[in-house]
Amino acid sequence: MRDEELAFASISALSAGLASEDISSPTALTQFFLERSKRLNADCHAFIEITEQNALRDAERADNMHDTGLLHGIPFASKDLFDVAGVKTTAGSRVLADNTANSDATVIKRLRSAGAVSHGKLNLHEFAYGITGENAVYGTPVNAYDKTRLAGGSSSGSAAAVAFGLVPFTLGTDTGGSIRVPAALSGLVGLKPTFGRISRSGVFPYSWSLDHVGTITRTVADAALILQTIAGEDNDDPDSSNEPVDNYVAALEQSGNLNKLKIGVPRTFFFENADPEILAVTELAIDNLRAHGAQVIDVELPKMEHTRAVSLTVQMPEALSVHSRYLEDRGHLYSRDFRAGIALGQCLLAEHYIRAKRMMTRYRQQINTVFEKVDLLITPTTPTIAPRIGQPRITIGNNDEAIGNAITRYTSFFNMTGHPALTVPSGLHSQGLPMGVQIIGRYYEEAEVLLAGSALEEKFQIPKPSFHERYENVGEFVSAAEK
């Protein structure tokens, strides 16, 4: 493979290259991605720390492994909420600048056991509190399709690292859309599995009731492969599920045939106040699923007018509980935005929190009733393309709202219900920026979600970012764009 092909290859393509020895070894592959990451990171701000020596040790171990699978020798990186033994877990904040992990998070252990190679820790919105991914301490990850735009957050570095070709897949967390939003804005596949499907042991929490661990990849098949590897019960996580793990990879072999699936379209709220191009391409996606044999019907979801308030009323007291141990000695090290959020948590009463939790239970019951009629739901992932860095508000039609409210409008509800949700690219907007479509399924039915996503993936092929075709490196791209 040429260097650019290698940088933007899928896991399966890289695995095939290692198996055929077109790629000489895991160490050679690791060295390629390390050099690329070091060269580009100063400008795209994807990594907080590139752990070169650890990666080379992992690669050498992979060189000597006899029983190899598809993740053998494949590089990855993780949002800097995931513990990696001997490496700092900063959560993107000065508050934890000296916080070195003693052991690997469960998902890191499982990936390393499969031969995957950890390349380092990825940037994020401080403590995952925010959807823009802007970070005053470690820099703001930029969008690979337009450096004046956000990569999206809070898993901003996780999206930028894959979009810029620094690693083929990443781990992130999703509390209100923090995997799906950056994946959609960056032209990638983002998977938030069922709540409890993937262990959160060793992952610094933001909101215990809403946090999900998930992945950002280039393809749906890659998402299926990683989920197959890291899903499953974990005694170290009391919220992890003992539901059997399906063979997600095998399920994709049926991607051309959706005859058995009923797909619901919730046109109220989820198809309102959105960019017309995003709505139009979502309709094309619906037509494509119908052409693959799926039955498509309109459905009504619960009323959404209070969902953001419910989510915040759960998030902020839980975040306050997490951070109360640091506030007295390190409170001055938090960003202004995060301190404001903590203050909100202090103002909420136990009564408010309990009511919000009861509303979450009601939302789950209501949407489970919808899933008695359909197998999947489809919506746009975001109502807008990637906003500009520093842009506080956005107007869509006659609707003006804060950026954070806008770009999580279609995602945060499914964190409260805990259902699996996947975003796949649905084309490029006329402004040259990616759009995404979201597939939501029943609890633990990730196989069906991935199956539908794979069918859409075949329909919507978007070009990789073109900065490398015009400039020798991202630094020149950034400099030219600023002039």
Q: Please provide residue 100's backbone torsions phi and psi, each rounded to the nearest 5 degrees.
A: -95, 130
Active-site residue, 335 included:
no
Active-site residue, 178 included:
yes
| 56-to-29, 30, 31, 72 alpha-carbon distances in Å | 10, 7, 8, 14
Cis upstream peptide for 154 (omega within 30°): yes
- Residue 345 contacts residue 206 (beta carbons within 8 Å): no
**One-letter amino acid for residue 475 of the chain:** G
Active-site residue, 459 included:
no
Residues 117 and 393: their CA atoms lie apart, in Å, by 39
Q: Please provide residue 378's backbone torsions phi and psi, each rounded to the nearest 5 degrees.
A: -130, 135
Q: Pairing state of beta strands 170-174 and 212-217?
A: antiparallel
Among 79, 88, 192, 464, the one annotated catalytic: 79
Neighbours of 22 (CB within 10 A): 12
Among 118, 154, 201, 241, the one annotated catalytic: 154
- Residue 274 contacts residue 383 (beta carbons within 8 Å): yes
Strand ranges of the sheet holding 75-79, from the earlier edge strand across to the other edge: 47-50, 117-122, 75-79, 170-174, 212-217, 189-192, 421-428, 434-441, 376-380, 262-265, 295-298
Angle between helices 26-44 and 52-63 in degrees, nearest 10: 160
Residues 383 and 277: their CA atoms lie apart, in Å, by 10
Q: What spatial distance separates the first Cα and last Cα of the chain, rounded to whole Å? A: 34
Q: Pairing state of beta strands 47-50 and 75-79?
A: unpaired
Length of the chain, in residues: 483
| 29-to-18, 72, 168, 441 alpha-carbon distances in Å | 9, 11, 11, 36
The tokens describing 170, both together, are 């990443």
The tokens describing 6, both together, are 């290698």
Query: Could you give the 3-state DSSP secondary structure of residue 445?
Result: coil
- Residue 245 contacts residue 234 (beta carbons within 8 Å): no
- Output helix, strand, coil percentages for the chain, rounded to the nearest 5: 45, 15, 40
Query: Could you give the 3-state DSSP secondary structure of residue 131?
Result: coil
Among 78, 178, 199, 241, the one annotated catalytic: 178
The tokens describing 447, both together, are 């196989």
The tokens describing 3, both together, are 């260097």
Neighbours of 373 (CB within 10 A): 10
What's the number of CA atoms in the CB half-sphere (13 Å) around residue 387?
A: 25
- Residue 320 contacts residue 342 (beta carbons within 8 Å): yes
Catalytic residue numbers, as ranges? 79, 154, 178
